[in-house]
Amino acid sequence: MKILDGKLAAQAVKEQLREAVEGLKAVGKRVPHLAAILIGDNGASATYVAAKVKACEETGFTSTLLRYETSISEAQLLEKITELNNNPSIDGILVQLPLPAHIAEEAVIKAIDPAKDVDGFHPVNLGKMVQGQPGFIPATPYGIMLLLEHFQIETAGKHAVVIGRSNIVGRPMSILLSGNNQPGNCTVTLCHSRTKELEAHCKQADIIVAALGKPEFLQASMVKEGAVVIDVGITRVKDDSKKSGFRLLGDVHFESVAPRCSWITPVPGGVGPMTIAALLKNTFQACQQRH
Ligand code: NAD
């Protein structure tokens, strides 16, 4: 069993981007600028946004963090997004999800200029991805594709099972893996909460992407010997032995599943860092297109 080390692969992506940023500076061009919006005081969201801002700094990007109280109205938030859309010094906009219940996620996603939608959630970018046209690919599935590419995992002709059909992870992942690309060219089964005999599907898989948000859901009995397992899940579970008061669990029962795998991602240190690397790549691309 080998580890799909997301920290290592993300470092390689960031190094390439850092050099590219130096290249922009050398010819007197503006460096990429990401604006991140964080609403409320959700601890996990604050941690993710802080990691994204830190990654921008490490890579030589400019970043702006805009924090708002949970009481911000949908109209006020949409106005802020319009300001960022119209601000020529901003290349990428990300709104950290989830949003407070009184704000419609769909309206917020649609308000972002598709040319600045570096999370790749806007319907225009999702449509482009489905058609295989260039655009912004949702950061987590894009990060997983970069991870597979980094470790040269053979995917062509393989049977991939994706568990979870969300618009930001599972569904785009299934489309990317089935695309006529490298990585890609998989035969894909997309499983979800209404799937029958999930275990039987998983057992046939050469590649499993677990993105359902249920800690340690995927057990050894569900995994074929030699499978590649990608664990997208991150759930905070109460743990009084930790200083933070919680530990992070993935959707895969790592201890029992890992010995059966050819490759597996750890949690943390697998998909998480790659999501950030993909976000940076999208932001760089947005900047290049605007230059
Ligand atoms: P979501 O809640 O939007 O979607 C979960 C999906 O899982 C749904 O489509 C549902 O049909 C399916 N599902 C639920 N229970 C199931 C079951 N018992 N069997 C089969 N399918 C089932 O979640 P999401 O936003 O896609 O995120 C999934 C997980 O990935 C979460 O733990 C989230 O925190 C994590 N995540 C991690 C990253 C990262 O960077 N590592 C990024 C995004 C999300």
What are the pLDDT digits (tens) for 250-288? 999 999 999 999 999 999 999 999 999 999 999 999 999
pLDDT in tens, 143-154: 999 999 999 999
Please give the structure tokens belonging to residue 163.
Answer: 């568990």
Determine contact, residues 230/4, Cβ cutoff 8 Å. yes
CATH topology agreement for domains 27-113 and 139-272 = yes
Model pLDDT for residues 48-72, shown as the tens digit of each residue: 999 999 999 999 999 999 999 999 9
- In order, the DSSP letters of 157-218 are T-EEEEE---TTTHHHHHHHHHSSSSS---EEEEE-TT-SSHHHHHHT-SEEEE-S--TT-B
**Residue ranges per structural domain of the chain:** 27-113, 139-272
* Ligand 1 center–CA 164 separation, angstroms: 5
In whole numbers, what is the pLDDT of the chain averaged over residues? 97
Nearest CA to ligand 1 atom 35: 233
Active site residue 131: no
Mutating to test ligand 1, I would choose from 144, 162, 193, 212 the residue with most ligand atoms within 8 A of its C-beta, which is 212
Residue 239 pLDDT greater than 90, yes or no? yes
pTM above 0.95, yes or no: yes
The pLDDT tens digits for 79-109 are 999 999 999 999 999 999 999 999 999 999 9
CATH, domain range 27-113: 3.40.50.10860
**Regarding the domain delimited by 139-272, which CATH topology (the fold level of the hierarchy) does it fall under?**
Rossmann fold (3.40.50)
Tell me how far CA of residue 241 lies from CA of 43, 237, 238, 245, in angstroms.
19, 12, 9, 7
Structure tokens at 90: 């901003």
- To the nearest whole percent, how much of the chain has pLDDT over 90? 99
Site to probe by mutation for ligand 1, drawn from 109, 146, 169, 246 as the one with most ligand atoms within 8 Å of Cβ, is 169
Q: Could you read off the pLDDT of 152-195 as tens digits, one per residue? A: 999 999 999 999 999 999 999 999 999 999 999 999 999 999 99
> What number of CA atoms fall less than 13 Å from residue 232's CA on the CB side?
23
Query: What is the spatial distance between Cα 106 and Cα 227, in angstroms, rounded to a whole number?
Result: 36
Categorize the per-residue pLDDT at 291 as very low, low, confident or very high, splitting at 50, 70 and 90: confident
72 lines ligand 1 (CB under 6 A): no
